[in-house]
Amino acid sequence: MSAKRLGQMAQATKTAFLFPGQGSQKTGMLADLAEQFAGVQQTFSEASQALGHDLWHIAQSGEGLDQTQNTQPVLLTASIALWRVWLELGGIAPKYLVGHSLGEYSALVAAEAMTLTDAVKLVNLRGKLMQSAVPQGEGAMAAILGLSDEQVVALCRQVSGQAGAHAAAAVEAANYNAQGQVVIAGSAALVQQVMTLAKEQSGKAIALPVSVPSHCSLMKPAAEKFAEALEQTAIELPVIPVIQNVNAAIATDVTQLRQALTAQLYQPVQWTRSMQYLQDQGIRYVVECGPGNVLANLAKRLPDIEKAFPVDTQSRLEDALNVIMVAEGKIA
């Protein structure tokens, strides 16, 4: 499908696509769909050639899947494979695209802003830079549940202030995922302190099994190096609007788009605001285009979202296609 045609198709719909980030990977992802649609493995072959190693093998075997430099290109490729299958089956082009963290790159590939080849190279580098920015074991992330955004931010500031002003002793809000759900990131010891204080305020705190403290100031060294790679990468404005993580807004030029991708490494993901933007624009149906259903489940909690679908298996994909095509008036 041409980029122009894709953009035209997306104008009048009430549907948005959500692309998941790191943490949604699972061994054997898309295996059943690959048996039915040749495009799944073709997409993985395209991405594998760009990197020089077999991403499909990693996805199916799980070997090295938990290594950030592998996780990111595998997830991006899986999301784009699902996107292509959706379009192949006549699925409606959504009005907006939004990706959570790494998923923003999937959204940009789907929107024809960059090629899959360039994107997998970028996120492979992104993963390496993120991993090398903080020594293993020194960074951490945790989900804080049941407290307001303001309460979590205040706890982070309290603990960081007590530790000192230098960046290595910081803990910050990293993902504003939903009302009452904020992920924090930073120095492992300080993350643990915030978790303890959150529990004392009747909140819940869950340590996340990650090796990199994403979306906090500890990632600034990685962002500086990553900005150089972004400048070398051909990027165009998306043909379907992409809501960016750092400001829950749509870039009006490529410079803004690049700046937002750089800042995304060390600034929080504004997912709550992004989802509110979708609702304000009349979006009523969302499709999570990637492995799992974390983003679809978050969307189901929103008052204006009528249906939220994962599409990572054949039955889920068929269900989403049927319901959305009827809802959008494309079939009776």
- Report the CATH number that the domain containing residue 202 is assigned in CATH: 3.30.70.250
Do 112 and 156 belong together in one domain? no
Q: 3-state class of 327 per DSSP? A: helix
Do 172 and 277 belong together in one domain? no
- Report the CATH number that the domain containing residue 119 is assigned in CATH: 3.40.366.10
Kindly give, in sequence order, each residue whose CB lies less than 8 Å from that of residue 52, ignoring residues fewer than 6 positions away: none
Distances (CA, A) of 141 to 158, 184, 191, 235, 301: 17, 5, 7, 31, 24
Residue 99 in domain: yes
Residue 174: domain span: 139-211
Residue 7 in domain: yes
C-alpha count within 13 angstroms, C-beta hemisphere, residue 299: 29
pLDDT confidence of residue 9: 56
Rounded CA separation 91/110 (Å): 13
Do 124 and 251 belong together in one domain? yes
Nearest residue to 265 via CA among 307, 317, 227 = 227
Do 156 and 76 belong together in one domain? no
Residue 53 in domain: yes
Do 233 and 288 belong together in one domain? yes
pLDDT confidence of residue 3: 55
Residue 178 in domain: yes
Among 211, 234, 260, give the residue marking a domain's end.
211
The DSSP line for 203-254 is: -EEEE---SS--SSGGGHHHHHHHHHHHHTS-----SS-EEETTTTEE-SSH
Do 269 and 317 belong together in one domain? yes
CB 241 within 8 Å of CB 96: yes
Residue 118 in domain: yes
Residue 242 in domain: yes
Rounded CA separation 310/158 (Å): 39
Residue 332 in domain: no
pLDDT tens for the chain, 332 residues long, are 555 565 555 555 899 999 999 989 999 999 999 999 999 999 999 999 999 999 999 999 999 998 888 999 999 999 999 999 999 999 999 999 999 999 999 999 999 999 999 999 999 999 999 999 998 889 999 999 999 999 999 999 999 998 775 556 699 999 999 999 999 999 999 999 999 999 999 999 999 988 799 999 999 999 999 999 999 999 999 999 999 999 999 999 999 999 999 999 999 999 999 999 999 999 999 999 999 999 999 999 999 999 999 999 999 999 999 999 888 877 64
Do 118 and 143 belong together in one domain? no
Among 158, 185, 211, give the residue marking a domain's end.
211
Do 282 and 181 belong together in one domain? no
Do 35 and 184 belong together in one domain? no
Total domain count for the chain? Answer: 2
Among 181, 211, 241, give the residue marking a domain's end.
211
Do 45 and 147 belong together in one domain? no
Do 49 and 184 belong together in one domain? no
Residue 224 in domain: yes
Nearest residue to 298 via CA among 177, 175, 151 = 177
Conformation bin of residue 18: beta by default, left when phi > 0, alpha when psi is -120 to 50: beta
Do 190 and 105 belong together in one domain? no
Instruction: Render pLDDT for 273-315 as a digit per residue (tens, 0 to 9).
Output: 999 999 999 999 999 999 999 999 999 999 999 999 999 999 9
Considering the entire predicted model, what is its pTM? 0.94
* Helices within the chain (DSSP H only): 3-9, 31-36, 38-51, 55-61, 68-88, 103-110, 116-133, 149-163, 188-200, 220-231, 254-263, 271-280, 294-300, 314-327
Kindly give, in sequence order, each residue whose CB lies less than 8 Å from that of residue 325, ignoring residues fewer than 6 positions away: 90, 91, 92, 331
Instruction: Render pLDDT for 121-145 as a digit per residue (tens, 0 to 9).
Output: 999 999 999 999 998 889 999 999 9
Q: What is the DSSP pairing of strand 181-187 with strand 242-244?
A: unpaired
Catalytic residue set? 101, 215
